[in-house]
Chain A
Amino acid sequence: MSLSGTLIPVFIGIGLVFNALGVIGILRFPDVYTRLHAETKTTTFGTIFLGLAVVIYSLTRLFDTGDGEYLTFIIHTVIAIAALAITNATGAHAIARAAHMSGQKPAPCVVDRLSEAEND
């Protein structure tokens, strides 16, 4: 019990810190591609850790009470997190592609092979 009592606040803390970094990133970075970097990676990772905190909490409740409802809770949380991780990455890919197709160039940029390939 004491182990989960320390793990849950730590995981929630990690999750909230990374979610906050993602939000600061989209407010701070200069163009849409760098904002996508901040958004996709950090919010996915932070939400995975929030989900892990929920899973650990449900596991301790499952061992304390033996209530099968908590097992369902764990399974559904894991499925929600998996769906989130897959859809976030694919959605970021779609936004990046759409932004490039709509003619938005990376603003500070040292090299852009995609525009060169399109212009050929």
Chain B
Amino acid sequence: MIPFIVTTLFAFLLYLVLTAGAGDLVWWSYSEIAAGIVLSLITAALSRTFFCRNRDYRMANPVRLILLLFYIVCPFFIEMAKANLEVAYRVITGRIRPGIVRISPGLKTDFGVALLANSITLTPGTLTVSVDDDTGDFYVHMINIRKGLETKKITESEDVFTLFQFPAWIRRIAE
């Protein structure tokens, strides 16, 4: 029952955001809201089994959501700008030294793993290739491996992330 309610609320919120500015009841009209309620009930009935599959509701906590927003705006966006300048440099000069390394961030929740995988993909010189489901280890393709780094069996996350320590941030947000 709780997954159904959470999914309904999420779908209804998304509907309200998408239809803002359509009517005169603050920003919405009565018919719009009625249609939204019906549609979000149908959506929740169809998809309640996969939206919160683990019955893990810690991401509904507003503190975590605000932290997530702050994470996206500040450290993530700075790293992304840095990533693009680095890739631009590699595209122009063609100086690459690629390889796949293994890091062990030790995240447990599904949302944390997904967030870290996406963050790795959009940040400097790294791209998640695969995740080991049992141990939670990431296999990361790096476009430019520094000399000496390729000999280690498991690379430290300090060597992959230079400016901000993403695993620590994500542990605070998602776990």
Contacts and interface: CB of A to CB of B under 8 A. Distances in A.
Interface in A64-98: 68-69, 71-72, 75-76, 79, 85-86, 89-90, 92-93, 96-97
A39 to B, nearest CB: 10
A55 interface: no
A18 B81 CA distance: 11
Contacts of A24: 91
A46 to B, nearest CB: 8
A78 to B, nearest CB: 9
Q: Which residue among B22, B97, B117, B129 has the maximum number of chain A CB atoms within 10 Å of its CB?
A: B129
Interface string B98-132: 11111000000000001001100110010111101
B143 interface: yes
A72 B20 contact: yes
Interface residues of A, number: 44
Contact of A89 (B20, B96, B121): B121
B84 A42 contact: yes
Contacts of B22: 72
Interface in B67-111: 80-81, 83-84, 87-88, 90-92, 94, 96-102
Nearest to A114: B139
Q: Which residue among A41, A44, A109 has the maximum number of chain B CB atoms within 10 Å of its CB?
A: A41
Please list the 7 inter-chain residue pairs (A to B) with the smallest Cβ-Cβ separation, ordered nearest first.
A111-B150, A72-B21, A111-B99, A89-B118, A113-B102, A114-B139, A110-B99
6 contacts: A21-B91, A30-B96, A96-B130, A108-B96, A108-B98, A112-B100
